C-alpha cells in the first residue's frame, strides 16, 4: 500500500500534473507536488489484552464493557472478539465467539457489546480478545451476569427481576 501526501512547489520531489477530483484546494494542477511514502508497518506482535471487563444487566439484554489497552502504537488492535460461555465457571473450550467489532477508516472499535440473545434466568460469562494482523491477545478477565426475568402482575403491568451471580 502507498500513501500520498501533497507538498508545496519548490521541493525536489516528483511533480505530477494531475488534478485529483476530491482535492478542491488545487488551483493549478501543474504545480501540485506529491510525495509517495510507504504505508505504516504492520503490527509485529498481538495487541495487549483488553480489560478490566464488566457486565451489567438490563431487561432483555446483558451489557458487556471493557477498557481498550491497545488503542495506539505499532501493535494497536484492529478490533475485538467477544466470547461467551453459558455458565459461571468456564474453561477455554467452553467459550464461543458471539461478536466481532472491527475498526475501520472512519470509525473506532467500540469497547462494549449488548448481548440480546439471552434467556431469562440464564447465567452467561463473557471475555474479550483484541486482535490485529499479528494475532490475537490473551483474553480479558471473565465477567458473569444472569439475564432478567420478565414477569407481569395481576393488573397486566410488567416488572423485571435482575440479579448478578
- Return the SS3 of 94: helix
pLDDT of 66: 92
The 3-state DSSP class for residue 152 equals strand
Q: For 57-95, what is each residue's pLDDT tens digit?
A: 887 899 999 998 887 888 888 889 999 999 888 999 999
- Of 127 and 2, more confident: 127
Instruction: Look at residue 13 in the predicted model and tell me its pLDDT.
Output: 39
- Check residue 92 and give its pLDDT: 94
Mean pLDDT, rounded, of the chain: 75
Residues 131, 47: contact at Cβ < 8 Å? yes
Phi, psi angles (nearest 5°) of residue 30: -75, -10
State percent of the chain over pLDDT 90.
38
Residue with the larger pLDDT of the pair 135 and 39: 135
In CATH, the number for domain 53-163 is: 2.60.40.10
Position 36 scores a pLDDT of: 61
Going from the C-alpha of 136 to that of each of 11, 47, 131, 140, the distances in angstroms are: 43, 7, 4, 11
CA atoms within 13 A on the CB side of 49: 10
Q: pLDDT tens digits for 11-22?
A: 443 333 333 444
Please give the Cα distance from 79 to 71 (Å, whole number). 10
Cell representation of residue 25: 484546494
Q: Sorting pLDDT into bands at 50, 70 and 90, what band is 53? A: very high
Provide the residue ranges of all domains of the chain, joining segments of one domain with +. Answer: 2-38, 53-163
Residues, the chain = 165
Dihedral sign computed on CA atoms, order 115, 117, 120, 124? negative
Amino acid at each position: 500500500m502507498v500513501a500520498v501526501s501533497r507538498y508545496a512547489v519548490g521541493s525536489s520531489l516528483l511533480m505530477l500534473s494531475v488534478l485529483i477530483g476530491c482535492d478542491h484546494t488545487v488551483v493549478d494542477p501543474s504545480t501540485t507536488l506529491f510525495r509517495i511514502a510507504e504505508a505504516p508497518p504492520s503490527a509485529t506482535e498481538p495487541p495487549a489484552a483488553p480489560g478490566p471487563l464488566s457486565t451489567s444487566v438490563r431487561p432483555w439484554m446483558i451489557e458487556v464493557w471493557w477498557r481498550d489497552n491497545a488503542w495506539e502504537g505499532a501493535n494497536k488492535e484492529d478490533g475485538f472478539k467477544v466470547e461467551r460461555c453459558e455458565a459461571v465457571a468456564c474453561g477455554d473450550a467452553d467459550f464461543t465467539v458471539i461478536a466481532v467489532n472491527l475498526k475501520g477508516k472512519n470509525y473506532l472499535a467500540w469497547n462494549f457489546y449488548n448481548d440480546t440473545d439471552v434467556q431469562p434466568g440464564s447465567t452467561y460469562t463473557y471475555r474479550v480478545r483484541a486482535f490485529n494482523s499479528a494475532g490475537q491477545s490473551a483474553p480479558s478477565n471473565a465477567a458473569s451476569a444472569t439475564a432478567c426475568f420478565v414477569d407481569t402482575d395481576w393488573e397486566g403491568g410488567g416488572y423485571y427481576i435482575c440479579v448478578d451471580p
